[in-house]
Structure 1
């Protein structure tokens, strides 16, 4: 279940009304977030880590390969892990909904509220509702985590990103908390669960690189599905499909791979730490040309320039069960309407669409005009 119990969604008046009327949430594709550099932080750090640890990686290849070291090392340089990371980012589209753990916060009103509303959500109910939109038997996932704020100039290996693996919530069609379920299954079989107990990003990356090399060896030597003559794209495709189908004692390989997909959208520059952001992710890990959720497009404007922004819609049919409160932006204090009257109007809108028990109030922030 979600490690954070409640979170806030700051949104405009127009978006608030649409959510209440339709019970549908929009998740924006990561490349089109307000700060397009968001999705570059993780790949930049990963590249720096790999560049600084080439000798260590070569040593790991030789340790895993044994007598086959030269052949496996040649295969690794043919299809290195940084190429695999780029492959995943290009093939898997990530969609994000931004929440915050900061209530009635002036920065969030300024950047996202636009004179609108703050919707307080019980996250357990919210995640269960979103999970219900995943198609049985698909490779769709709903994820959630605190945003990891990092200094671009910091030592990436020392970045503390979690108290443990399970700080990241990931749901598939069968499990609301896939990582915990797989960890418990391994523990029940008396299998090691070390990979779920990491705290520093360097440890996660070491595990991921080692898992990648083992998979290369397995596909090349045991399955004989890849070789030095196989194109890197075909190697990456086979390896991705192999690891995302891992079960039983190897389920951790799937979990680690999916965690690295999530990290693309979970890391952000420390300059935005004040936002206290909590992100919800949706992605389809099938590598299919025909994804389960069809993209839609709205029109955005920036400095007079209009552009199309892709998003997906996820229904939240039980929103009235876990929308616990609505707070009006401090800017509404300047409306040509008495505050109590406006609060009654919002309450009336909510009741009209089946939200009978939602508390509505005004921001307690004082602002300058």
Structure 2
């Protein structure tokens, strides 16, 4: 199969779908790989490093979209490139179709394309193997990110995240005890930070408590619990997501208004619409804004802050699926692997799942 790796197009997106090592695995399996010039530069991979393992360098989007039957992207196809998409072409990436403009889905459907959303690839046990390492990275970035945002020059309260003798730590509230929330809680608790984790799943709360060796407070996520913890929080991390859907708005604007002046909100769920009512997408170049006196950080592609680590982790997770699809084709691979099937939104322009069918009906 001919496989193409385009440059990412989202603001401040520096990740690349496969490293040179991953490309080499595809080449030795008999596939042809085209890499758009500069696609790996943000993660520290040169065009020469891809050429050295057998990739062909494509100079411009016209060539890269014309070459690839399977497009391994980071963030899908930009709108100005949609006319280049061909019938039967597979567009793979962190597509987040639940929040993708309907005109984009319509254009992909009209082109007869297929889509594979990395975040929707999900095994029978509920694990999303390609999203998982990105969630782990996002969670593990939370302590250093929160520490930076709390600093006075960043616009925060001027509070040290960790405790010092005679002065307590900042108070952190994490909404969601999934992969992001669990990794974040582990990091904060390791730093000695007073951390409260809320979730509606008691099993997840038990797991977080065990991982953190009891050094966190866990609470069932109810409206009254949120109303109790938010006014005391120095940092609130929104890490609640719903498969195939928009994130629920757990924190209202009225709740945000009860928080301390210059406290911090980090809405990790912003790539699926956000779980804080006052959140709107920002970028790594311009990551924060004030709303109701609270500093908001809502960058959709948080792992891109450590693009090289993220690219290696994504390569490790994505490569087995890329190899299977390249050797069997998307439809046959989906028939043999339920995880791949769950990631498909469109198949040759037709809705493959009910949530995409509903989106097209209402577009």
Q: Same fold (TM over 0.5)?
A: no
Q: TM-score, normalised by structure 1?
A: 0.28
Q: TM-score, normalised by structure 2?
A: 0.28
